[in-house]
Structure 1
Amino acid sequence: MILVTGGAGFIGSNFVLGWLAQSDEPVINLDKLTYAGNLGNLQALADDPRHVFVKGDICDEKLVAGLLAQYKPRAILNFAAESHVDRSIHGPRDFVITNVNGTFALLEATRAYWADLADADKAAFRFLHVSTDEVYGTLGAEDAPFTETTAYAPNSPYSASKAASDHLVRAYYHTYGLPTLTTNCSNNYGPYHFPEKLIPLIIANARQGKPLPIYGDGQQVRDWLYVSDHCAAIRRVLEAGRPGETYNVGGWNEMANLDVVRILCGILDELAPKAAGSYVDQIVHVADRPGHDRRYAIDARKIERELGWKPVETFETGIRKTVEWYLEHDAWVRDVQSGDYLRWLDTNYSNRDSQPEPGQ
């Protein structure tokens, strides 16, 4: 049995679904069900006895300790996190509470549990912490991609809180011998992605006839990783990763945000055309967010060299699958676009002057 935290969120729910699609090993799924946690993501497992859902907070050390004592998992995979940079700018406190204090509480409960295991179980146990490439800061256009030895230089409250959590995980390995693993991934995309992030936001807004907001000049570069590829990498790290090690997980797909949006518009023009014109006509440029990192890029050679993992999807195949999924799941999008979500959009975008895409 494994314990997954944050398993009702975007990456976590994809991981749980993928895990149970190819394994009968049960999953204990602990999630607080904040705005981005959605049991609808796990509807396919509603009657599956292999999936045990527990609503709760990783900051609740007593709750976590009780779950560990009751279910005795062989591994913990920590997906639980506040993860949106814009939200961290507007309200950093929640990010420190969940990402720093929560990881600390989880580590403390895990350390006590692990210390009491029999020797063989102790040796086999793993604590896998899922993190982000944003902890490394920003790159110039000609800089080499991030490696596992790149110095941390976080530039947002979100990335700073994730950097702190990574340091705690590292410290618990070196100080206490807890067998930890850390993965730092690039930008994920795919099914069940909450529509505050770029790709699902653009798809939803395009379909609803709303502006497609692009920060600044839209030339911020990200490495895009299809979520099922990320989940496969995590499974491989859990299976064969060396305790104490960090593995960067990337898609080898660097692309500017504006180019991503234009590609999305082209696919939508093909699969769900407007009555007149192109979805590109809805693109507007808005004021950039504070401290916006210019470029991220992941060097994922270590995980390929040591563990034999590399992504299956290209950006072209993954982004088409993503658009098709959202077109087929309009009801899911409507359900997650609650009043709280709409209030958030108003908070984040209402004070940004917008300009149409040049040439329109």
Structure 2
Amino acid sequence: MILVTGGAGFIGSNFVLDWLRGSSEAVLNVDKLTYAGNLGTLESLSDNARHVFVRADICERAAMEALLVEHKPRAILHFAAESHVDRSIHGPTDFVQTNVVGTFTLLETARAYWNTLPAAQKSAFRFLHVSTDEVFGSLSADDPPFSETTAYAPNSPYSATKAGSDHLVRAYHHTYGLPVLTTNCSNNYGPYQFPEKLIPLMIANALAGKPLPVYGDGNNVRDWLYVGDHCAAIRRVLADGKPGETYNIGGWNEKKNLDVVNALCDLLDTLRPKGQGLYREQITYVKDRLGHDRRYAIDARKIERELGWKPAETFETGLARTVRWYLHNQAWVDEVASGEYQKWVEDNYAVRV
């Protein structure tokens, strides 16, 4: 069995679903079920005996210790995190608690458990920490992409707390020998993403006839990684990654935010045309995010060279798959877009128009 934290969130749930489709090994899925955790995403696993879901907080050490003793996982894959930059600007406390304190608590729990294992199991155990490219800060247009040796320079409360968690993971390997692996990924997109992030937000607003809010001049650049490719990369790192190493995971798809929104609009014009006009006509420029990083880019050559992974999807194929999924799963979107979420959207964007 493997233990997955945050397995009801966007990337975590995609990983759990993907793992159980391709492996006979069971998953212990631990999630606190905050606003972004959704058991509806995992509904297809309700009768699957290999999926064990437990609602728990990674900050509660006693609960995590009990789960490790009972289920004896061979690996921990740590997805659980507060992850939205805008939310971290408005309320950083939860980010410090989950991303820093939670990771520390999980590391302490894992270290104690790991030290009780017989020699062969101890040698095979892995702690895989899923992180972000945002810990490296912002690039100018001419800078080379982030590599595994790029110095950390986080610029938001979110990225600062993820950087802190990365450093703790590294320290537990260097100091205690805990066999850790760290991955730093670029912007994920795909099915089951909470509609506060750019792509699902734009799809939802476009279909509802609402403005499509683009920060600043729309020229901020991100590297886009289809979530299914990310899951495949994590499986490779878990299987053959070298303890203590970090691996950057990127899609080789640098795009300006405005170009992403335009591409979405063009797809919707084809797949779900409006009665009159084009979706691009709904684009509205709003006041920029505080401290908005200008460009992220990932150099993913190490994971390709050492582990043989590279993305299967181009941005165009991945975006088309994503848009079709949202069009065919409107009930899921309606369920997660609760009153609390709608209030947050209103509060976040009202001050920017």
Shorter-normalised TM-score: what interval?
over 0.9
1:120 corresponds in structure 2 to 120
For the residue of structure 2 that corresponds to 1:239, the secondary structure is helix
Partner of 2:220: 220
**Map 1:1-360 → 2, pairs under 5 A:** 1-353=1-353
CA offsets per residue over residues 229-252 of structure 1, 9 Å max, x none?
Answer: 000000000000000000000000
- Opposite residue 4 of structure 1, the aligned amino acid is V
Query: Which residue is 1:358 aligned to?
Result: none
Per-residue deviation at 1:109? 0.4
Structure 2 residue matching 1:318: 3-state secondary structure: helix
- Mapped partners of 1:158, 1:136: distance in 2: 12
| CA shift for structure 1 position 82 | 0.1
- Three-state SS of the structure 1 residue aligned to 2:294 is coil
Deviation string 1:178-235 (CA, Å, 9 cap, x unpaired) is 0000000000000000000000000000000100000000000000000000000000
CA–CA separation in structure 2 for the residues paired with 1:263 and 1:180: 38
Q: Once the 2 structures are TM-superposed, how far is the Cα of residue 346 of structure 1 from its aligned partner?
A: 1.1
CA distance in 2, matches of 1:72, 1:332: 33
How many Å separate the matches in 2 of 1:347 and 1:111? 41
Secondary structure of the 1:82 match is: coil
Q: CA deviation at 1:147?
A: 0.2
Partner Cα distance (1:275, 1:319) in 2: 23
In 2: Cα distance, 1:285 partner to 1:346 partner: 16
Alignment partner of 1:255: what SS? strand
Aligned mates of 2:345, 2:132 — CA distance in 1: 24
Query: In structure 2, how many angstroms separate the alpha carbons of the residues matched to 1:4 and 1:180?
Result: 14
Tell me the secondary structure at the aligned position of residue 62 of structure 2. helix
Question: In 1, distance between residues paired with 2:72 and 2:252?
Answer: 37
CA separation in 2, counterparts of 1:233 and 1:43? 25
1:165 CA drift (Å): 0.1
| Alpha-carbon separation, structure 2, partners of 1:322 and 1:307 | 27
Shift in Å at residue 24 of structure 1?
Answer: 1.0
Unaligned runs of 5+ in 2: none
- Cα deviations across residues 67-108 of structure 1 (Å, max 9, x unaligned)? 000000000000000000000000000000000000000000
Return the alpha-carbon distance in structure 1 between the equivalents of residues 238 and 352 of structure 2. Answer: 43
Separation in structure 1 between the aligned mates of residue 253 and residue 289 of structure 2, nearest angstrom: 23
CA drift at 1:347:
1.3
Paired residue secondary structure (1:145): coil
CA RMSD in angstroms comes to 0.3
- Greater than 6 Å deviation, 4+ residue runs: none
3-state DSSP class of the match of 2:17?
Answer: helix
Q: What is the alpha-carbon distance in structure 2 between the residues aligned to residue 252 and residue 15 of structure 1?
A: 21
Q: Could you tell me how far apart the structure 1 residues matched to 2:69 and 2:333 are?
A: 37
- Over the matched positions of the two proteins, sequence identity in percent amounts to 73
What do residues 117-153 of structure 1 show as CA deviations (whole Å, max 9, x unaligned)?
Answer: 0000000000000000000000000000000000000
Q: Secondary structure, in 3 states, of the residue corresponding to 1:210?
A: coil
Q: Distance in 1 between matches of 2:310 and 2:15?
A: 17
Map Cα deviations across residues 307-358 of structure 1 (whole Å, 9 max, x no partner).
Answer: 00000000000000000000000000100110100110011011112xxxxx
Q: Give the drift of 1:255.
A: 0.2
Counterpart code for 1:127: F
My pick for the range that moved more, 318-327 or 342-351, is 342-351
Output the amino acid matched with 2:124: A
Give me the TM-score of the superposition, normalised by structure 1: 0.98
Distance 1:61 1:269 in 2: 50
